[in-house]
């Protein structure tokens, strides 16, 4: 085909799906192999990674929700296949898409021909996969953002999947927050134990002290503290987590020291805690609610008590707080992130003295790598337990999050703070814990 005739076809002739992708890609560069149900193919023949558009429904998903949401819908529904990666860990393919595939908006006449070639019927939205949560506007209409009922629904959507599934992915620790790797060769379990040790030490906990862990998950921090002689209370909105945690507490033989309650953290009435830990909780409460949240945590502490806030953060303090469409619809409905500067400011404005902050971003890359490896190793069992679509959501979410930490789109911060001003009540002059 001559250059002239190729240009004419691009403007007026019917385009194959593969040709559409080549036109949309900057400079026509495709780092992977693409095949479509219309028989068209694009990209290097020997590419180790690829995408297979399997059905017309997949085209509708891609056309009606351009970006990560449309691709996620098509993939989760089985209309888009991934080549060269395991569904439990599609990290390498996502990395190639993010780093090597860039799109451009074509000229109006070319765009019009793309629409004609795809077919106007594919521009009419269709129902998403059943794993998708309601859109934000529907959730707003049905309840105030971060009301107690809506928060409980959001937590249930994500955490009440299956305790067996979580055990396969998270490992024996059942810890669904960033681990802290003492050295590069450490196992996931060693790194999670080290994370709890680090938080325990930062909070200067001693036998006989009283700890409150808000958003405690399956009780990992509560059980670690109790094994070291600390009285610990945990609170979670997930009924599945609370049931599992209470059994684990009994199995550990620390029921006299530890308790996990199925409740909103705001229902904890006890005060005068020596320490409060908030590990992976801030992401769920909403940035607008930071003042109330940190104010409540301060109100639970005794004078001189310590707070450790562990949360995912933005890489700056200007980005919008709400999550992307895929994360919001499939993973964390209503989840919000702020920069570490915003988190620190809100903690200070609540009347707490910030003593220390550190970024553990690279540790979350390793944690997600290991969670994906666990999902791959238990893939058949996971699919049998929660279904193929939900298992694919988790592989996609964890691999994509790993890429986000690697690219410094998101970070993980520890912020240590103290209740009370003036005298530091015997705290060492320098950080007293080892990394």
Residue 107 and residue 158 share a domain: no
Q: Are residues 224 and 77 in the same domain?
A: no
Q: How many structural domains is the chain composed of?
A: 2
Q: By residue range, what is the domain housing residue 25?
A: 3-123
Residues 69/62, Cβ–Cβ less than 8 Å:
no
Do 167 and 58 fall into the same domain?
no
pLDDT over 90, % of the chain: 80
Is residue 431 in a domain?
no
* Pair 117, 161 in one domain: no
**CB-CB contact of 256 with 237 (8 Å):** no
Instruction: Answer for the pair 375, 395: CB distance below 8 angstroms, yes or no.
Output: yes
* Alpha carbon distance 347, 415 (integer Å): 9
Q: What angle do CA 386, 388, 393 make, to 5 degrees?
A: 85
Average pLDDT value for residue range 110-130: 94
Q: Are residues 278 and 391 in the same domain?
A: yes
Token readout for 90 is: 């599609």
- Residue 203 domain-assigned (yes or no): yes
What's this model's pTM, rounded to 2 decimal places?
Answer: 0.91
Residue 12's pLDDT band, with cuts at 50, 70 and 90, is low
pLDDT at position 235 is 98
**Averaged pLDDT for residues 24-53:** 91
pLDDT digits (tens, 9 = 90+) for 56-84: 999 999 999 988 999 999 999 999 999 99
Alpha helices in 45-135 (DSSP H): 56-64, 68-76, 91-100, 108-118
Query: How many C-alpha atoms does 369 have within 13 Å on its Cβ side?
Result: 17
User: In the predicted model, what is the mean pLDDT of residues 130-142?
Assistant: 73
210-214 sheet: strands from edge to edge? 258-262, 231-236, 210-214, 273-279, 301-314, 410-419, 352-359
Give a yes or no: residue 136 inside a domain: no
What are the residues facing 262 on neighbouring strands?
A: 236
Whether residue 218 sits in one domain with residue 105: no
pLDDT of residue 323: 85
């Amino acid at each position: 085909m001559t250059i002239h005739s190729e240009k004419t076809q691009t403007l007026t002739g019917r385009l194959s799906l593969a040709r559409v992708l080549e036109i949309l890609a900057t400079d026509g560069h495709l780092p992977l192999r693409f095949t479509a149900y219309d028989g068209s193919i694009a990209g290097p023949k020997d590419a180790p990674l690829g995408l297979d558009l399997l059905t017309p429904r997949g085209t509708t998903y891609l056309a009606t929700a351009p970006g990560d949401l449309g691709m996620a819908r098509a993939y989760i529904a089985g209309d888009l296949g991934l080549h060269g990666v395991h569904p439990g860990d599609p990290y390498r393919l996502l990395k190639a898409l993010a780093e090597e595939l860039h799109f451009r908006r074509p000229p109006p006449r070319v765009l019009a021909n793309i629409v004609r070639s795809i077919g106007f019927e594919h521009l009419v939205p269709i129902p998403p996969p059943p794993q998708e949560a309601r859109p934000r506007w529907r959730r707003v209409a049905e309840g105030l953002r971060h009301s107690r009922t809506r928060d409980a629904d959001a937590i249930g959507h994500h955490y009440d999947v299956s305790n067996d599934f979580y055990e396969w992915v998270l490992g024996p620790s059942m810890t669904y927050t960033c681990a802290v790797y003492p050295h590069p060769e450490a196992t996931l379990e060693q790194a999670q134990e080290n994370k709890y040790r680090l938080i325990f030490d930062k909070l200067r906990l001693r036998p006989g002290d009283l700890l409150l862990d808000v958003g405690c998950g399956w009780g990992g921090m509560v059980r670690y503290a109790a094994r070291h002689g600390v009285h610990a209370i945990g609170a979670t909105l997930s009924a599945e987590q609370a049931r599992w945690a209470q059994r684990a507490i009994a199995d550990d033989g620390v029921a006299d020291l530890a308790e996990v309650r199925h409740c909103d953290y705001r229902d904890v009435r006890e005060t005068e805690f020596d320490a409060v830990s908030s590990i992976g909780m801030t992401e769920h409460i909403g940035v607008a609610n930071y003042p109330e949240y940190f104010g409540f945590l301060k109100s639970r502490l005794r004078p001189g008590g310590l707070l450790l806030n562990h949360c995912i953060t933005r890489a700056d303090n200007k980005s919008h707080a709400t999550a992307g469409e895929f994360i919001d619809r499939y993973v964390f409905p209503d989840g919000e992130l702020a920069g570490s500067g915003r988190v620190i400011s809100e903690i200070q404005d609540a009347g707490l003295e910030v003593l220390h902050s550190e970024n553990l971003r690279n540790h979350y890359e390793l944690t997600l790598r290991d969670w994906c490896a666990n999902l791959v190793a238990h893939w058949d069992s996971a699919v049998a337990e929660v279904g193929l679509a939900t298992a694919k959501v988790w592989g996609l979410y964890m691999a994509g999050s790993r890429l986000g930490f690697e690219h410094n789109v998101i970070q993980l911060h520890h912020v240590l703070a103290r209740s009370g001003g003036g005298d530091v009540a015997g705290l060492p002059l320098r950080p007293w814990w080892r990394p």
